[in-house]
């Protein structure tokens, strides 16, 4: 045993032993993450074998939020490498659904490269190695902080270049990773290039064990968000159907946050009695629970999934559908982005800002600190601490149309000024593909 202490193998051996011990719990957790057309054996790396003549670019994004953030990169890779098959893996079923939507878009967009989806294998040595062996990727791209030691080791073993793009590592996450510092240093030694969102992220990755010469600070891909004109048209049609009334949206909300959103809505309706809230819970499994919560608090509810009409006395429109958050954002006067009044770390603030909708959030923005900093500097983001402050902020903005317009223009200008990460990321990936 002493002679292994100085090697890079023992941290992964300990990690694998822990995985084996926790295997029943891990499998139980992912069992519910299923999707039509994707058998659960994909979790064991049991996928079809890629023909030798077919070049594959593999991009892994954890869930729906990461897929949406990666969309500019996915579309750029499709356009730049139409002779490659682009495989996107996700951990969650909601992420799989978003990839399927992108694939349908690609089918209707002319000569783009093929995009397909698998569930990412569980990070057991056999599953990881089986997946990489069968997929035969020319390049592996991991989005943000998806650092799976056995998958990275399998890529190294099969001489697959590895990139981490839009790399982010919050101070809180780094403290957690440093508890397993030897394992993370071992994993990071298999990363050929890391495109960091900010200098702070780059420094944290370096302190975690990533070689400094392999890190480039490129900015956040999230700022390269594009406007889908079909989505904008759908937003306008929905807005027209909802009538002339104040409308705000709370998107990607979590347990403990819905209650605060409804309390803020009650405060708002004291000043604007006809105000409508579009409420979009983050996870589909919570749709029914949130519907019951709204009804228990006396709200007149209409559910989008059931085709229910929004009438004059409707107070909450539940966005219990998949893939429509952007469209729903565009139909509102003001947007509150959830995951920020509870300790989740926030969600994509740029999605409503790009649509010209003034943005509110809570203070819990660890996952989007760089984005929040840019929007704050442009005076395009208002942070609130609780339901009362949220209600007061809504009242103030609805009472001042010119301020809403100014904030909308400031948000769009901030996004435009911070574009460019996509170009820099593609240049770095092209070097790896030429190796």
Residue reference for tokens 């819970």: 281
Mean pLDDT of 241-269: 97
CATH code at position 208:
3.40.50.11720
Distance CA(319)–CA(327), nearest Å, equals 10
More reliable by pLDDT, 329 or 66: 329
Q: What average pLDDT does the chain have?
A: 91
**Residue 108, pLDDT score:** 46
Distance CA(179)–CA(19), nearest Å, equals 17
Residue reference for tokens 């999605």: 351
| Structure confidence by residue, pLDDT tens digits, 330-354 | 999 999 999 999 999 999 999 999 9
**Residue 5, pLDDT score:** 39
Instruction: Decide if 248 contacts 335 (C-beta within 8 A).
Output: yes
Helices (H), 9-148: 10-31, 64-80, 93-107, 125-135
Mean pLDDT of 3-24: 75
Is the pLDDT at 50 greater than 80? The verdict is yes
- Could you tell me the pLDDT band of residue 167, with boundaries at 50, 70 and 90? very high
Instruction: Decide if 138 contacts 160 (C-beta within 8 A).
Output: yes
Mean pLDDT of 253-273: 98
Is the pLDDT at 243 greater than 50? The verdict is yes
The DSSP element (H or E) to which 335 belongs, if any, is strand 334-337
- Domain count for the chain, please give it: 2
Q: Are residues 189 and 89 in the same domain?
A: yes
Q: Are residues 213 and 264 in the same domain?
A: no
- Domain membership flag for residue 202: yes
Q: Are residues 378 and 236 in the same domain?
A: yes
Domain limits for position 281? 229-417
Cα 197 to the center of its chain, rounded Å = 14
- Domain membership flag for residue 260: yes
Q: What is the pTM of this model?
A: 0.80
Q: Are residues 213 and 261 in the same domain?
A: no
- Mean pLDDT lowest among 166-180, 241-255, 274-288, 308-322: 166-180
Is the pLDDT at 45 greater than 90? The verdict is yes
**Residue 98, pLDDT score:** 83
More reliable by pLDDT, 101 or 417: 417
Q: Are residues 52 and 192 in the same domain?
A: yes
Q: Are residues 241 and 286 in the same domain?
A: yes
Is the pLDDT at 110 greater than 50? The verdict is no
For residue 167, report the phi and psi dihedrals to the nearest 5 degrees: -60, 125
- Could you tell me the pLDDT band of residue 114, with boundaries at 50, 70 and 90? confident
Residue reference for tokens 């100014």: 406
Q: Are residues 176 and 258 in the same domain?
A: no
- Domain membership flag for residue 224: no
Whether 66 is a known active-site residue: answer yes
Distance CA(300)–CA(122), nearest Å, equals 43
Mean pLDDT of 256-275: 98
- Domain membership flag for residue 325: yes
- Could you tell me the pLDDT band of residue 107, with boundaries at 50, 70 and 90? low
**pLDDT over 90 for what percent of the chain?**
73
Q: Are residues 387 and 427 in the same domain?
A: no
Spatial neighbors of 375 by CB under 8 A, at least 6 apart, are: 349, 353, 359, 381, 411, 414
The DSSP element (H or E) to which 248 belongs, if any, is strand 247-253
Is the pLDDT at 146 greater than 90? The verdict is no
For residue 408, report the phi and psi dihedrals to the nearest 5 degrees: -60, -45
Spatial neighbors of 170 by CB under 8 A, at least 6 apart, are: 204, 345, 366, 367, 369
Distance CA(48)–CA(254), nearest Å, equals 37
- Domain membership flag for residue 279: yes
Q: Are residues 54 and 171 in the same domain?
A: yes
Residue reference for tokens 């969600």: 347
**Residue 6, pLDDT score:** 43
Q: Are residues 252 and 170 in the same domain?
A: no
Distance CA(170)–CA(263), nearest Å, equals 31
**Residue 105, pLDDT score:** 60
Mean pLDDT of 395-411: 97
Is the pLDDT at 304 greater than 70? The verdict is yes
Distance CA(380)–CA(386), nearest Å, equals 19
C-alpha dihedral (207, 196, 133, 159), degrees to nearest 10? -70
For residue 335, report the phi and psi dihedrals to the nearest 5 degrees: -125, 130
- Most confident residue range from 3-7, 36-40, 104-108: 36-40
- Domain membership flag for residue 301: yes
**Residue 369, pLDDT score:** 84
Q: Which candidate, 168, 161, 162, 141, places its Cα nearest to that of 74?
A: 141
Mean pLDDT of 361-390: 94
Q: Any bridge partners for residue 118, and if so which?
A: 89
Distance CA(136)–CA(401), nearest Å, equals 55
Task: Name the active-site residue from 66, 75, 383, 389.
Answer: 66
Mean pLDDT of 183-207: 94
């Amino acid at each position: 045993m002493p002679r292994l202490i100085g090697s890079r193998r023992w941290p992964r051996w300990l990690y694998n032993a822990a995985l084996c011990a926790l295997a029943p719990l891990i499998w139980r957790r992912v069992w519910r993450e299923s999707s039509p057309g994707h058998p659960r054996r994909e979790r064991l790396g049991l996928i079809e074998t890629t023909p030798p003549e077919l070049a594959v670019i593999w991009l892994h994004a954890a869930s729906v939020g990461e897929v949406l953030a990666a969309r500019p990169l996915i579309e750029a890779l499709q356009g730049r490498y139409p002779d490659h098959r682009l495989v996107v893996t996700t951990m969650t079923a909601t992420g799989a659904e978003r990839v399927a939507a992108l694939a349908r878009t690609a089918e209707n967009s002319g000569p783009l490269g093929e995009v397909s989806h698998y569930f990412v294998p569980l990070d057991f040595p056999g599953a990881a190695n089986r997946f990489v062996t069968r997929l035969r990727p020319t390049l592996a791209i991991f989005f943000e902080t998806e650092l799976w030691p056995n998958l990275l080791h399998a890529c190294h073993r099969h001489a697959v270049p590895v990139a981490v793009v839009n790399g982010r590592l919050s101070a809180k996450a780094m403290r957690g990773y440093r508890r397993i510092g030897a394992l993370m240093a071992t994993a990071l030694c298999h990363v050929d290039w890391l495109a960091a969102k900010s200098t702070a992220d780059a420094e944290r990755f370096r302190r975690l064990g990533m070689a400094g010469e392999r890190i480039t600070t490129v900015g956040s891909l999230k700022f390269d968000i594009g406007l889908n004109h079909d989505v904008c048209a759908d937003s306008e049609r929905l807005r027209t159907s909802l009538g002339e009334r104040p409308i705000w949206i709370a998107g990607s909300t979590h347990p403990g946050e819905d209650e605060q959103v409804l309390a803020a809505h009650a405060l708002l309706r004291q000043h604007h009695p006809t105000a409508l809230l579009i409420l979009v819970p983050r996870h589909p499994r919570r749709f029914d629970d949130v519907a019951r919560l709204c009804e228990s608090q006396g709200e007149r509810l209409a559910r989008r999934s059931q085709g229910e009409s929004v009438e004059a006395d409707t107070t909450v429109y539940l966005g219990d559908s998949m893939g429509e958050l952007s469209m729903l954002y565009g139909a509102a006067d003001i947007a509150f982005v959830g995951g920020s009044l509870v300790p989740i770390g926030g969600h994509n603030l740029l999605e409503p800002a790009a649509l010209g909708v003034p943005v509110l959030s809570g203070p819990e923005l660890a996952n989007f600190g760089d984005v929040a900093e840019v929007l704050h500097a442009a005076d395009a983001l208002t942070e609130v601490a609780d339901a009362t402050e949220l209600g007061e902020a809504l009242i103030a903005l609805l009472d001042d149309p010119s301020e809403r317009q100014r904030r909308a223009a400031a948000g769009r200008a901030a996004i435009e000024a911070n574009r460019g990460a996509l170009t820099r990321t593609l240049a770095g990936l092209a070097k790896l593909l030429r190796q």
